[in-house]
Amino acid sequence: MPGLFERTPDGGAALTLDPVEISILRSLSVQLLELVGPGTEPSDDPFAELFAEGPSAPPSDPVLRRLFPDAYGGPGDRETQELKEAAAEFRRYTENDLRAKKREDALAVVHALDALPTASDGSGRLHVQGPAAQTWLRTLNDLRLALSTRLDITAEDDTDALYRLPDSDPRKPMVMAYLWLGGLQETLVETLLP
């Protein structure tokens, strides 16, 4: 099946992408970079960076709330002032680092796609292993979370209904990307299992 990861003899994973697939993955990764934000300017003082405080309130964008959920409480939990304060405190000291890691991962995916040696038909063969494979897994997961939030997928039934969308539905391309990313993520996990 084209466009899915396969195990390689060296324990890594390989994927052949056509020009459209490269373009989609690159575009989605760049959009993720833009959504997560540009980050902060590096400081000359590494200790100041280490103890820099981040935001304490959850992001207003639903995708960012999904990518950076509150650490305390969850669906069905009664939201108490104590939980709100604990979540705000945790977010203040972790969100900047989480954002930086997501930016680093998405940028690595973009760079890998840009560096792909391409065949005469424009296709490219990607090979990942070790830390690079983990980077790809994290970015594929973030992309799927972003798309599932935009598609309002909250339960398995929601996904089933999306399969039946007519081709004329404007969500259809996003649904196809979501399903394809799921296949990429699943096959990458399978190739990396011992």
Which residues lie closer than 8 Å to 31 by C-beta, 6 or more apart? Answer: 146
The pLDDT of 132-160, averaged and rounded, is: 92
Beta carbons of 121 and 10 less than 8 angstroms apart: no
CB atoms within 10 A of CB 84: 16
Measure the CA–CA gap between 48 and 194, rounded to whole angstroms.
42
Classified as helix, coil or strand, 14 is: strand
Is pLDDT of 1 > 60?
no
pLDDT, tens digit (0-9, with 9 covering 90-100), for 33-81: 999 987 655 566 766 665 667 787 888 899 999 999 988 876 666 778 8
Question: Of 1, 30, 24, 32, whose CA–CA distance to 145 is shortest?
Answer: 32
Q: Measure the CA–CA gap between 158 and 154, rounded to whole angstroms.
A: 7
**b/e per residue 18-47 (b: at least 16 CB within 10 A):** eeebbebbbebbeebbebbeeeeeeeeeee
Rounded to an integer, the average pLDDT of 7-34 is 96
**CB 147, CB 158: distance < 8 Å:** no
**Dist. CA 52–CA 165, nearest whole Å:** 46
Q: For residue 42, what pLDDT is reported? A: 58
pLDDT of residue 157: 78
Each domain of the chain, given as residue ranges in start order, spans: 6-39+97-192
Q: Is residue 78 exposed (0-12), middle (13-18) or buried (19+ Cβ within 10 Å)?
A: exposed
What's the pLDDT at 38? 73
Reply yes or no on whether the pLDDT at 136 is more than 60: yes
At 81-135, the pLDDT tens digits run: 888 888 888 888 889 999 999 999 999 999 999 999 889 999 999 999 999 999 9
* Average pLDDT, integer, range 2-19: 91
**Rounded to the nearest 10 degrees, what angle do helices 172-192 and 131-150 cross at?**
150
Instruction: State the pLDDT at residue 88.
Output: 87
Q: How many helices (H) and strands (E) does the chain have?
A: 7, 3
Q: Is the confidence at residue 17, as pLDDT, over 80?
A: yes
